[in-house]
Copies of this chain bind each other. A is one copy, B any other.
Amino acid sequence: MFESAEIGHAVDKATYDAEVPALREALLQAQYRLRSEARFPVLILINGIEGAGKGETIKLLSEWMDPRLIRVESFDTPSDEELAHPAAWRYWRRLPPKGTTGIFFGNWYSKMLQDRVNKRIKGADLALQTLKAQRLERMLCDEGVLIFKFWFHLSKAQMKARLDSLKNDPLHSWRISPLDWQQSKTYDRFVRYAETILRRSSRDFAPWYIIEGADERYRSLAVGRILLRGLQAALDATEQPPAPAQPHTAPLVADIERLSLLDSLDLTQKLDKDSYQHQLIEEQARLSRLLRDRRLRKRGVLALFEGHDAAGKGSAIRRITGALDPRLYRTIQIAAPTEEERAQPWLWRFWRNVPERGKFTIFDRSWYGRVLVERVEGFCSPADWLRAYSEINDFEEHLTDAGIVLVKFWLSIDKQTQLKRFKEREDTPFKRFKITEEDWRNRERWDDYASAVADMVDRTSTEIAPWTLVEANDKRFARVKVLRTLNEALEAAIAEK
């Protein structure tokens, strides 16, 4: 794989000097067009052999282009806030917004490579992590992010020569850390695992570019040209990203006898007032006790609520929070994304609100809006919501991998009950703010929502993050079921170890 990058590519000074001015100008123009159109961001991953010119190339790009529109992020030791979140959180929080360029120097590839070289992980882990990186990149790319992955290469002999010359240069010798020298000794392992990673993760939507790093002029021109062509092509493309050649247009479920998942719920289930009072207090006390369990301190808890309008999400959430110290939980109400959120991949606004270790976050509506309201109302394309199922499953795997206890509720009522509650709301001054024109409009799409919910549950109720369907015609029954389910999930999590 690295053969072409060990043949001694070089560019003479005259050729270099002749090409650079036009290249710089074109790069700058492209960068300004990128900013003014602000349709997508650029993400550049920098990896490779020590001494192969990674840092120098970034410096050069900062000189050639406008450094104020480029943000270089290096990921060394994670902060304690980063350690308290799922591993990918530190990358998500630094993603470049649309119109700008982010350079990730030290990224998921450097992490997995270092871990493998230093025997902290095994081959199977490396394979799994490479796969996960690929899925992340696929998602970013589908969201319009233009990804460049550069691998700077040197043959073993070239590297030794390069490190020696740096060592003797008083101005640059500080660049060589002990770790780098150590890598020089483990060059073979490093290159072997790198090859595996590159082979597995070079895909049409985010290919690796291997750059021979020995000759500075060659290296600089190569990177500059690749960036320019990639940028220009993306800017000229009318749409980001191209639709798949064969989009799936068949319905997700063969909807033969019109019996939907939601129809199968027994909505007549009830609780009388006395049993309710008794069970509610019992479950609240249990929740308060469980959340203070020391064994949960290393984990986060995330409960999300979706449901029909007027199904009682808000009042169920209040029965949870009513039991708790307000410092222990956060409630996130999902509304329209802000400008900063719209400049990022759609999952970004959920990533930024993921609970840290030891904390409890309640989402009132959630990322499932993508496959519910956005699908039904046509706010995103079918291609977008179709891919969202797997994006959501990946996202939730990140959460559960980090030990987060994830509990998902769909609160279901029937059409008559909704009508009754809408009217009640309109008649009670106290509740009038809760009912809007939009609620009435959504109601007309009842069946479309039912299909969307069925597909959602079929495709995202997984063993790591199952859905709980809550029969909510009777509010008392629903509240107790929510609390009890949450408590059982916490108990199961505590019992895990």
Contacts and interface: CB of A to CB of B under 8 A. Distances in A.
B326 A430 contact: no
A292 interface: yes
B433 A29 contact: yes
A429 B28 CA distance: 11
Contacts of A25: 429-430
Contacts of A175: 325
Interface string A318-340: 10011011110011110000111
Given A318-B63, A325-B55, A433 B32 contact: yes
Interface stretch (A64-72, A120-128, A227-235): A64-72
Contacts of A433: 28-29, 32
Given A29-B433, A326-B55, A292 B68 contact: no
A326 B364 CA distance: 41
Contacts of A67: 317-318, 321, 331
Given A25-B429, A28-B430, A80-B79, A321 B68 contact: no
Q: How many copies does the complex hold?
A: 2
Contact of A285 (B66, B171, B314, B429): B171
A62 B28 contact: no
Given A327-B74, A430-B25, A292 B174 contact: yes
Contacts of A89: none
Contacts of A257: none
Interface magnitude class on chain A: 35 or more
A28 B429 CA distance: 11
A24 interface: yes
Contacts of A68: 314, 331-333, 364
Contacts of A338: 338-340
Interface in A45-91: 55, 58-59, 62-63, 66-69, 71-72, 74, 79-81
A135 B262 CA distance: 57
Contacts of A327: 55, 72, 74, 105
Contacts of A364: 68
A310 interface: no
Interface centre among A67, A71, A322, A333 (most CB of B within 10 A): A67
Contacts of A194: none
A103 interface: yes
A330 B74 CA distance: 11
Contacts of A62: 318, 321, 326
Contacts of A321: 59, 62, 67
Interface string A13-30: 000000001001100110
Contacts of A79: 79-81
17 contacts: A21-B430, A58-B326, A59-B326, A62-B321, A62-B326, A63-B318, A67-B331, A68-B314, A68-B364, A71-B330, A79-B79, A79-B80, A80-B81, A171-B288, A338-B338, A338-B340, A339-B339
Interface of A: 21, 24-25, 28-29, 32, 55, 58-59, 62-63, 66-69, 71-72, 74, 79-81, 103, 105, 171, 174-175, 285, 288, 292, 314, 317-318, 321-322, 324-327, 330-333, 338-340, 364, 429-430, 433
